[in-house]
Amino acid sequence: MKTPRNIFKGSIRPPDNDSAFILHPHKRGVPNVGRMAHYRDDDEVDMLIVGCGAGGGVLSQRLARRGWRVVVLERGPFWDPDRDWVSDEAGSHKLYWTDKRIVGGSDPVQMGKNNSGHGVGGSMVHYAGYTPRFHPSDFETYTRDGVGADWPISYWDLKEHYERCEAELPVAGQHWPWGDPHGYPMGPHPIGGSAEVAWKGAEDCGIEMRVGPVAITNGAFGNRPHCIYRGFCLEACKVNAKGSPLITHVPDAIEHGAEIRADCMAIRVEYDESAGRVTGVTYLRDGQEHFQRAAAVAVAGYSIETPRLLLNSKSARFPNGLANSNDQVGRYVMVQGASQTAARFAEPMHMYKAPPPEVSSEQFYETDESRGFARGFSIQTVSPMPIGWSEHVIADGHWGYALREYMRDYIHWTVLGVLNELLPHPENRVTLTDEPDQYGMPIPRFDYSQSDNDRANIAYSKKVIQDIWEHADAQDTLTIDRYAHLVGGCRMGDDPDESVVNSDHQSWEVPNLFITDGSVMPTQGSANPALTIMALASRLADRLTSKRVDAQGLRAVPSG
Amino acid sequence: MAKHFRSGDAGHLPNQRKSGGIGPPDELPRQRRGTTPQMYGRYPDWDVLSQQGHWDIVTRNVVLDRVQKVPPFRFFNEEERRTLKAFSDRVTAQDKEPRIPVMSMVDAKLDAGELDGYQFAGMPDDRDVWRIVARGLDETAREAGGHDFASLSEEAQRQIVGRMADGELEGGSWEELDVSKAWSVVTRHILSAFYSHPWAWNEIGFGGPAYPRGYAAFGVGTKEHWEPDPAFDVDPVTDTQDRGLE
Ligand SMILES: Cc1cc2nc3c(=O)[nH]c(=O)nc-3n(C[C@H](O)[C@H](O)[C@H](O)COP(=O)(O)OP(=O)(O)OC[C@H]3O[C@@H](n4cnc5c(N)ncnc54)[C@H](O)[C@@H]3O)c2cc1C
Ligand code: SF4
Contacts of B10 in chain A (CB under 8 A): 344, 346, 412, 475-476
Peptide bond into B98 cis (omega under 30): yes
Give the pLDDT of residue A12: 73
Q: Please state, in angstroms and rounded to a whole number, the distance separating the CA atoms of residues A90 and A93.
A: 6
Q: Is B155 exposed, middle or buried (0-12, 13-18, 19+ CB in 10 A)?
A: exposed
CA torsion sign for A220, A223, A229, A235 is negative
First to last CA, chain B: 40
**Omega prior to A170 cis, within 30 of 0:** yes
Q: Beta partners for A242? A: A216
Span B74-112, pLDDT tens digits: 999 999 999 999 999 999 999 999 999 999 999 999 999
Cα–Cα dist A223/A215, whole Å: 15
The strand pairing partners of A420, in sequence order, are: A337, A377
A340: burial class by Cβ within 10 Å (0-12, 13-18, 19+)? Answer: buried
234-263 of A, contacting B, C-beta below 8 A? 238-239
Q: Partners of A221 in the beta sheet?
A: A224
Predicted-complex ipTM score: 0.93
| Domain assignments of chain A as residue spans, ordered by start | 37-553
Predicted confidence at residue B233, as pLDDT, reads 57
Reduced DSSP (H G I as helix, E B as strand, rest coil) percent helix, strand, coil of chain A, to 5: 30, 20, 50
What is the overall mean pLDDT for chain B?
Answer: 88
Question: Which residues, at least 6 apart from B113, have a Cβ–Cβ distance to it below 8 Å?
Answer: none
Please tell me the distance between residue A235's alpha carbon and the centre of ligand 1 in angstroms: 14
- To the nearest whole Å, the CA of A342 is away from the closest chain B CA by 11
Q: How far is CA B240 from the centre of its chain?
A: 24
Optimal mutation site among B16, B211, B233, interface A, most CBs of chain A within 10 A: B211
CATH topology of domain A37-553: FAD/NAD(P)-binding domain (3.50.50)
- The dihedral of CA B60, B61, B62, B67: what is its sign? positive
Interface list for A 100-159 with B (CB within 8 A): 100-105, 108-113, 115
pLDDT of residue B6: 33
Contacts of B68 (CB under 8 A, 6+ apart): none
Q: Give the H/E segment covering residue B204.
A: helix B198-204
Question: Could you tell me which residues come within 8 angstroms of residue A546 by beta carbon, excluding any fewer than 6 positions away?
Answer: none
* Torsions phi, psi for A326 (to 5 deg): -90, 5
**Across the interface, which of B191, B200, B207 has its CB nearest the CB of A394?**
B191
> What is the best residue among A123, A248, A483 to mutate for testing ligand 1's pocket, by most ligand atoms within 8 Å of CB?
A123
Contacts of A96 in chain B (CB under 8 A): 117
Q: What is the rounded CA–CA span in Å between residue B125 and residue A161?
A: 43
Q: Digits of tens for pLDDT over chain A (560 positions)?
A: 444 444 444 557 898 999 999 999 999 999 999 999 999 999 999 999 999 999 999 999 999 999 999 999 999 999 999 999 999 999 999 999 999 999 999 999 999 888 889 999 999 999 999 999 999 999 999 999 999 999 999 999 999 999 999 999 999 999 999 999 999 999 999 998 889 999 999 999 999 999 999 999 998 899 999 999 989 999 999 999 999 999 999 999 999 999 999 999 999 999 999 999 999 999 999 999 999 999 999 999 999 999 999 999 999 999 999 999 999 999 999 999 999 999 999 888 899 988 888 999 999 999 999 999 999 999 999 999 999 999 999 999 999 999 999 999 999 999 999 999 999 999 999 999 999 999 999 999 999 999 999 999 999 999 999 999 999 999 999 999 999 999 999 999 999 999 999 999 999 999 999 999 999 999 999 999 999 999 999 999 999 999 878 756 554 444 44
